[in-house]
C-alpha cells in the first residue's frame, strides 16, 4: 500500500474548520497519514482529539510546536516526519471536496512524470464589499491558476500535491514572512529545478529521452478546495503588505524571472517627495523662492490627484473586463493593491535603485507587455498631474 501524507499547519485546531479533512474518499491501494502541526502552544486540542477519536481508523500525528515557528517551519517539520509517497499540503481553514485525493491520484496515473500537481483553491460568493474587493484586486488570481493552465511553475500551499521523491531535500525557506508570502513559490521553483536536473542527468545517455523536456507542475482543475474569505480587519489588510514584502525575496533568489516596470503610485510618490525636498534645500542657493508651505501643498495636491487617477484607471480596467463593482469595493481593492506595493517598496528600500523591479509570477514573460501598458498609462497620468499640481501651487501659494 502506498501512503499519502497530509500536512496541515494550524493555529486554530477547531472542529468546524478541520472536520472536512477527515472525509476524503481514499484512493484504492492507498493509506492516509495526517500530520497536524500545532503552531500555537496555547491552543486547546480537545476538538482535534475528539475528531481523531471519531475517525479512529485513520492514522493521525499531532505535533505541537514549543512556540510559534510560522507556516514554513511547521511544514518543514511535517515533511521530515512524513512517510508518504505523496504529500498533500493544505491550509487549516480550507474546506476540501471529498474527491480531492482521488482526482490527484487519477492525474498522477495519467501524467506520472510531473513533480507535483496543482488543484483549484476557490472562494465562496462574496458577501461584503471587502470580499468583493479581494476578488477585484486580483490578489487571488493564482488560487485558480489550474483552471487557466495545463501546467504551471508553482502552486499555493492551500492545495498542493507533490511526489515525495520530487521534494527530496528541498524545504520551505525561512527568510520569508512567518505567516506567508512568497515562500510557496520559492519551494515549488526549487523542486522543479532539482527534479529536472536529476532527470536530465539520468537520461543524458538515453537517445530516446533526448532532449529531456522540463517537467512543471500538472494542473488538476477537478481537485478543488474552498478557501473562505478573511475577516475585514487591520490584520487582514496587512496580509497583503506581507505578501508584497515577502515576494521581494524572490527577486534575489530567482532573478531570471525579474523585469523592470514603470514606477507605481508608491514609487512615484516617493520620487516626488524626494525631489521636492531637494528643491526646497537648494532653493536659497539658486535664489528660487520655494517655501515649506509650497512643498507641502504641492505634495498634497499631487497626491490627491494621483489617488483619483489610480481609482479611475482601476475602475476603467474593471469595466473593460466587465466586472461589476461598487465605489466602496473599488476603494478597498485599490487599498489592498497599494498595501501590497508598500510591502514591496519597504523591502526594496535599502536597494532604492531597484524599486522599479518586478517579479514575473507567470515565470514566462507572457503578462509583462500587458502589465507595462497598464503601468505606462498610470505613470503618464502621474506626470501630467504633477505639472498641473505645480502650476496650481505656484498660482495659489
User: Helices 368-396 & 265-282, crossing angle to 10 degrees?
Assistant: 40
What are 186's three cell numbers? 520559492
3-state DSSP percent of the chain in helix, strand and coil, to 5: 50, 15, 30
Indicate if 84 and 197 belong to the same structural domain. yes
Task: For residues 153 and 264, state if they share a domain.
Answer: no
Same domain, yes or no: 141 and 225: yes
Confidence at residue 393, expressed as pLDDT on a 0 to 100 scale = 74
Mean of the per-residue pLDDT values of the chain: 91
**Whether residue 106 sits in one domain with residue 67:** yes
Nearest in space to 22 (alpha carbons), one of 64, 54, 46, 63: 54
Task: Please report the pLDDT score of residue 212 as a whole number.
Answer: 62
The verdict on residue 186 lying in a domain is: yes
Q: Is residue 239 part of a domain?
A: no
Coil, strand or helix at 103: helix
In a domain, 237, yes or no: no
- Domain span including residue 285: 257-396
Q: Are residues 48 and 171 in the same domain?
A: yes
CATH number reported for the structural domain that contains residue 169 in this entry: 3.90.550.10
Predicted confidence at residue 172, as pLDDT, reads 97
Residues 188 and 285 in one domain: no
268 in the same domain as 209: no
If asked whether residues 144 and 268 sit together in one domain, one would say no
Q: Is residue 249 part of a domain?
A: no
Tell me if residue 291 falls in helix, strand or coil. coil
pLDDT tens for the chain, 397 residues: list them.
899 999 999 988 776 778 899 999 999 999 999 999 999 888 888 889 998 899 988 999 999 999 999 999 999 999 999 999 999 999 999 999 999 999 999 999 999 999 999 999 999 999 999 999 999 999 999 999 999 999 999 999 999 999 999 999 999 999 998 888 899 999 999 999 999 998 888 777 766 655 567 899 999 999 999 999 999 998 899 999 999 988 889 998 999 999 999 999 999 999 888 887 787 777 667 666 667 777 788 788 889 999 999 999 999 999 999 999 999 999 999 999 999 999 999 988 877 777 889 999 999 999 999 999 999 999 999 999 988 887 887 776 5
Same domain, 156 and 284: no
Q: Are residues 75 and 181 in the same domain?
A: yes
Residue 268 lies in a domain: yes
Question: Looking at the structure, do residues 58 and 182 belong to the same domain, yes or no?
Answer: yes
Domain boundary among 211, 229, 247: 229
Tell me what pLDDT residue 283 has: 65
Domain match, 218 and 326 both = no
Count of domains in the chain? 2
243 occurs within a structural domain: no
Tell which residue, 249, 239, 262, 213, has the closest CA to residue 337.
239
CB 21 within 8 A of CB 96: yes
CB 94 within 8 A of CB 159: yes
Count of residues in the chain = 397
Cell numbers for 147, please give them.
Answer: 483552471
**Domain-located, residue 244:** no
Residue 236 lies inside a defined structural domain of this protein: no
Residue whose cell numbers read 465562496: 124
Amino acid at each position: 500500500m502506498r501512503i499519502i501524507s497530509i500536512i496541515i499547519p494550524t493555529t486554530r485546531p477547531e472542529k468546524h474548520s478541520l472536520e472536512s479533512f477527515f472525509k476524503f474518499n481514499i484512493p484504492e491501494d492507498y493509506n492516509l497519514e495526517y500530520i497536524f502541526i500545532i503552531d500555537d502552544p496555547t491552543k486547546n486540542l480537545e476538538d482535534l482529539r475528539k475528531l481523531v477519536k471519531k475517525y479512529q481508523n485513520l492514522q493521525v500525528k499531532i505535533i505541537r510546536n514549543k512556540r510559534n515557528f510560522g507556516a514554513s517551519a511547521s511544514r518543514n517539520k511535517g515533511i521530515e516526519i512524513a512517510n508518504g509517497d505523496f504529500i498533500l499540503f493544505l491550509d487549516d481553514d480550507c474546506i476540501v471536496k471529498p474527491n480531492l485525493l482521488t482526482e490527484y491520484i487519477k492525474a498522477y496515473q495519467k501524467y506520472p512524470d510531473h513533480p507535483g500537481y496543482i488543484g483549484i483553491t476557490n472562494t465562496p460568493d462574496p458577501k461584503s464589499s471587502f470580499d468583493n474587493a479581494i476578488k477585484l484586486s486580483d490578489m487571488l488570481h493564482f488560487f485558480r491558476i489550474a483552471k487557466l493552465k495545463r501546467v504551471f511553475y508553482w502552486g499555493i500551499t492551500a492545495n498542493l500535491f507533490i511526489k515525495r521523491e520530487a521534494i527530496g531535500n528541498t524545504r520551505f525557506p525561512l527568510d520569508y514572512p512567518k505567516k506567508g508570502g512568497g515562500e510557496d513559490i520559492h519551494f515549488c521553483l526549487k523542486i522543479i529545478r532539482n527534479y529536472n536536473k536529476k532527470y536530465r542527468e539520468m537520461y543524458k545517455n538515453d537517445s530516446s529521452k533526448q532532449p529531456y523536456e522540463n517537467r512543471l507542475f500538472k494542473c488538476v482543475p477537478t481537485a478543488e478546495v474552498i478557501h473562505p474569505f478573511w475577516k475585514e480587519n487591520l490584520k487582514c489588510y496587512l496580509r497583503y503588505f506581507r505578501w508584497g514584502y515577502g515576494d521581494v525575496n524572490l527577486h534575489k533568489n530567482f532573478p531570471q524571472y525579474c523585469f523592470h516596470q514603470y514606477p507605481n503610485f508608491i514609487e512615484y510618490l516617493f520620487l516626488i517627495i524626494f525631489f521636492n525636498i531637494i528643491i526646497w534645500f537648494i532653493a536659497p542657493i539658486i535664489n528660487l523662492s520655494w517655501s515649506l508651505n509650497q512643498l507641502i501643498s504641492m505634495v498634497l495636491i499631487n497626491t490627491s490627484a494621483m489617488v483619483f487617477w489610480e481609482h479611475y484607471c482601476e475602475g476603467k480596467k474593471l469595466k473593460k473586463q466587465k466586472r461589476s463593482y461598487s465605489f466602496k469595493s473599488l476603494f478597498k481593492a485599490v487599498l489592498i493593491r497599494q498595501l501590497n506595493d508598500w510591502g514591496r517598496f519597504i523591502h526594496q528600500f535599502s536597494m532604492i535603485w531597484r524599486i522599479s523591479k518586478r517579479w514575473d509570477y507567470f515565470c514566462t514573460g507572457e503578462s509583462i507587455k500587458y502589465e507595462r501598458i497598464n503601468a505606462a498609462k498610470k505613470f503618464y497620468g502621474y506626470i501630467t498631474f504633477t505639472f498641473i499640481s505645480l502650476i496650481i501651487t505656484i498660482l495659489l501659494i
